Structure 1
Amino acid sequence: MVQTIRIEAAARGRAGKGAARATRREGLVPGVVYGAKKEATLVAFDPRDIMKEMHKGGWQSHLYEVAVKDGPTERALMRDVQFDPVTDRPLHIDFQRLAPGARIRVKVPVAFLHEETCPGIKTGGVLNVVRREIEVMADVDTVPERFEVDLAEAKIGDSLRWSAVKDSFGAKPVITGRDFVVATIAAPTVVEDAVAAPPAEVQATKQKAPAAAAAAKAPAKKK
């Protein structure tokens, strides 16, 4: 199951752009925890904690415990982070509060097993990843950390589909009605060095050149 990550937060007293700018001047990132039919909680984060999560990758499928100082600890998903277009510093962050037993829509990364021993790859094929993440509906308490696809028997030309996922943990893909492709083992691309034939005009010029040279060497007729 996916790991729950604890992230510290401070409470904010006021909403609005002015209050958010004041929070940033204090060196913090303003944010909000919303959802589950409860009043939104205004919070602020250490930007280093936010960037640490950004660098991990797959943060949209991680579960967080937002621990508000002198306040509640909220179980939530990180839904959106706004960045400064010039400095790339986080400007605002949204967390969605999770209710017990709720099913949530998340993107789960895909991991490919036994790539080094895959028969198709060993014979020159290439792993063509169609979906590095799969968006699913999953129970809050059983969100998988990743989906695994085994390549141990995959050969050139094979397609690995949703049905090839080893364990979906009860998650249901948002794509319905078809067994969609996650990856394929593509045939190697062969590039042949071809020598282009000279254009017809060049060929004709080459054929005329010896005749012209012979004519130049021939003695002129006496008049």
Structure 2
Amino acid sequence: MAGEIPDLHAEERTGTGKGAARQARRDGKVPGIVFGGDVDPLPINIPFNTLLTRLRQGRFKATLFNLKVDGHDDVRVICRDVQRDVVKDLPTHLDLMRLRRNTKINLFIPVEVVGEEVSPGLKKGGVLTLIRPEVELMVTAGEIPDHITIDVSELEIGDNVSISSVTLPSGTKATIDRDFVIANLSAPSGLKSAEDEEEEDAEAEVAPDEVEAINVED
């Protein structure tokens, strides 16, 4: 199951309509609505700076939150829309959806690496690059995994790990259809430089022979 789900604090908004929303913005808050889950919609306000910080952290619409509103039970929500000012591009309203346990959602799940201590490629000095430290998966709200695991114990220099080689938790699947790379094991920069020099030396050695062959033909 998922680890710590971030809290999102809000307050219930008294009054609805454009007037109440405009007042909320004047007070430094962003009005919003929480809907779904066979419960009446709940109008809320979220501090502007709090929401802006969350948005700048990225992936706001793909993050599961634990919504906390005084006087109401905590509930898991995911953002379905953020309306922005057309000129300033700042948030003016947001829609949050309550989730049932069987709701399917897209979330970024962290990648955990195992087998580094026995990887033959790493023992030879290879460099492991985690191209995707998180992978976007379609998951069930009630069964969100903490992470997915990639095993690099048999990787040699030049090998990679793609999503097709990863055993995903039951009920989840990648949101990207193609077989994308999650991590690769490359040669260290020093070894690359040495190989490049060897190739250049080999080319230089071949060059005189090629010239001589041309002269003979002439």
Structure 1 length-normalised TM: 0.63
Q: For 2:152 and 2:92, how far apart are their aligned partners in 1?
A: 41
Cα 1:129–1:15 change in 2 (3 A) is farther
Q: Aligned with 1:153: secondary structure?
A: coil
Q: Aligned with 1:99: secondary structure?
A: coil
Q: Is this contact kept in 1: 2:101–2:140, CA < 8 A?
A: no
- Name the % identity: 34
Higher helix share: 2
Deviation at 1:152, TM superposition (A): 3.6
Q: For 2:27 and 2:60, how far apart are their aligned partners in 1?
A: 25
Which aligned pairs between 1:46-57 and structure 2 lie closer than 5 A?
A: 46-47=47-48, 49-50=50-51, 53=54
Aligned to 1:211: none
Q: Is this contact kept in 2: 1:15–1:42, CA < 8 A?
A: no
Aligned to 2:64: 63
Which aligned pairs between 1:129-208 and structure 2 lie closer than 5 A?
A: 129-165=130-166, 168-176=169-177, 179-188=179-188, 190-191=192-193
Q: For 1:97 and 1:75, how far apart are their aligned partners in 2?
A: 6
Q: Aligned with 1:22: secondary structure?
A: helix
Q: Aligned with 1:4: secondary structure?
A: coil
1:45 counterpart letter in structure 2: I
Q: Is this contact kept in 2: 1:31–1:42, CA < 8 A?
A: yes
14, 17, 23: which one aligns with 2:16: 14
Structure having the higher Rg:
1
Aligned to 2:26: 25
Q: Is this contact kept in 2: 1:58–1:108, CA < 8 A?
A: no
1:126 counterpart letter in structure 2: V
Structure 1 unaligned residues grouped into runs of 5+: 195-223
Q: Aligned with 2:142: secondary structure?
A: helix
Structure 2 unaligned residues grouped into runs of 5+: 201-218
Deviation at 1:28, TM superposition (A): 1.8
Structure 2 length-normalised TM: 0.64
Deviation at 1:89, TM superposition (A): 6.4
Instruction: Tell me the matched-pair count.
Output: 192
1:29 counterpart letter in structure 2: V
Cα 1:81–1:166 change in 2 (3 A) is same
